Structure 1
């Protein structure tokens, strides 16, 4: 991975935890201690079970967060976009990552080491409080996802995933701004790529979606949302 020099002061990611607290004098000093690097598409920069190397903040690009399940099956537990925090699961409680992470496209990341993050959390109460709220919200999202997998059928889970991608990554003329393989969609929805292919075929025949290569267009969003009304999604 190629090392870079990214200045927090010129960063446009207002949702980034570091950027949101950069107005604090102490945070400006800590920001100078970060490491930044480029990560190629498909490259894994966090490995499940490897020693924790602090927290990552996504400056540019898209990332998938992975967890290995039974028989080595990969599960995508989260997707990250510019401004998101990566690597917080297990940080501060364990010595090794509970998850892995890889770039979905060429990406730029900033990393704050364990020591620097510990200093920030101990010396900037406003940052620590916001981080606590962030963890609470992420826990709520994780619990909701478990509920979805338990209560939704496969078609509903695939539709829910498409709506999540639409909202998370944005769209251009209803074409979702991310390219994911059928396997990656299946790994996020908690199903198989064969089932995703089958459901995509049905949704196309019903004129609810269309595909252009790996990209997906949601043609009738209201009808897709309507299928999940009982689960109060999107």
Structure 2
């Protein structure tokens, strides 16, 4: 079976940096040199500490970005989907990746080399400007997450994580379209798998959420949002 290829001209991801600027004449040569490849579910395509091999753009699929913490435990720092950028942490400032990345489902990726990305940033000001705003937004999100982990209790952190995943990936037939283990939820919320299991069990009994296998659906989003509303305004 022929492997699927990511074709920029056929891409429907309007939020992708490359797609947004594909109309620019100077982008043609860079797009011709980019490579695309598929990753199977759970496959790692960025290894933390490995030499940087440019930036990745998700053509189709879902990805988790991780950072190794104390005792070798992986902390999930970001979830990404179609059109999102992966591998930007440390790009341009480090020779090695500061994060690792895994496919959460079968995923098709575009990759632009270090040389081409640096050349793009020097010669395509529209992308440079957008990337600067992107970095500023990601920094703000990271600072907000640190604050929330410090100030929220475990239940609030799990609720905040479920609401974030719901907003990022949406629901189909009342179920969030992301197959996450309880450990992965814990790794993003900054808690333990056991605590996540207890909170999810409690939320199900309160008829705030439901589950189908590992997948979760939010039943009463307004009630969940009200539990963490005070943290949104600090």
Q: RMSD of the alignment, in Å?
A: 1.2
User: Does the residue aligned with 1:178 lie in a helix, a strand or coil?
Assistant: coil
Residues 8 and 31, structure 2, Cα contact 8 Å, conserved in 1: yes
Residues 3 and 36, structure 1, Cα contact 8 Å, conserved in 2: no
How far 1:3 moved relative to its partner? 6.9
**Residue 159 of structure 2 is aligned to residue 162 of structure 1:** no
**Residue 194 of structure 2 is aligned to residue 194 of structure 1:** yes
Partner in structure 2 of residue 228 of structure 1: 228
Partner in structure 1 of residue 34 of structure 2: 34
How far 1:4 moved relative to its partner? 5.3
Residues 6 and 109, structure 2, Cα contact 8 Å, conserved in 1: no
TM-score by length of 2: 0.97
- Alpha-carbon distance in 2 for matches of 1:173, 1:162: 16
Partner in structure 2 of residue 9 of structure 1: 9
How far 1:217 moved relative to its partner? 1.0
Q: Which runs of 5+ in 2 are unaligned?
A: none
Q: Which runs of 5+ in 1 are unaligned?
A: none
- Alpha-carbon distance in 1 for matches of 2:127, 2:14: 14
How far 1:232 moved relative to its partner? 1.8
User: Does the residue aligned with 2:33 lie in a helix, a strand or coil?
Assistant: coil
Residues 3 and 35, structure 1, Cα contact 8 Å, conserved in 2: no
How far 1:175 moved relative to its partner? 1.1
User: Does the residue aligned with 1:83 lie in a helix, a strand or coil?
Assistant: coil
Partner in structure 2 of residue 63 of structure 1: 63
Poorly superposed stretches of 4+, deviation over 3 Å: 2-5
- Alpha-carbon distance in 2 for matches of 1:175, 1:189: 20
- Alpha-carbon distance in 2 for matches of 1:25, 1:139: 31
- Alpha-carbon distance in 2 for matches of 1:213, 1:25: 48
Partner in structure 1 of residue 117 of structure 2: 117
**Residue 15 of structure 2 is aligned to residue 18 of structure 1:** no
Partner in structure 1 of residue 45 of structure 2: 45
User: Does the residue aligned with 1:227 lie in a helix, a strand or coil?
Assistant: helix
How far 1:6 moved relative to its partner? 2.1
How far 1:5 moved relative to its partner? 3.4
Matches within 5 A, 1:110-189: 110-189=110-189
TM-score by length of 1: 0.97
Matches within 5 A, 1:98-117: 98-117=98-117
- Alpha-carbon distance in 1 for matches of 2:116, 2:168: 29
- Alpha-carbon distance in 1 for matches of 2:44, 2:199: 29
State which drifts further: 28-37 or 155-164: 28-37
How far 1:173 moved relative to its partner? 3.1
| Residue 149 to residue 71, structure 1, CA distance change in 2 (3 Å) | same
Residues 58 and 84, structure 2, Cα contact 8 Å, conserved in 1: yes
Aligned residues: 232
How far 1:180 moved relative to its partner? 0.2
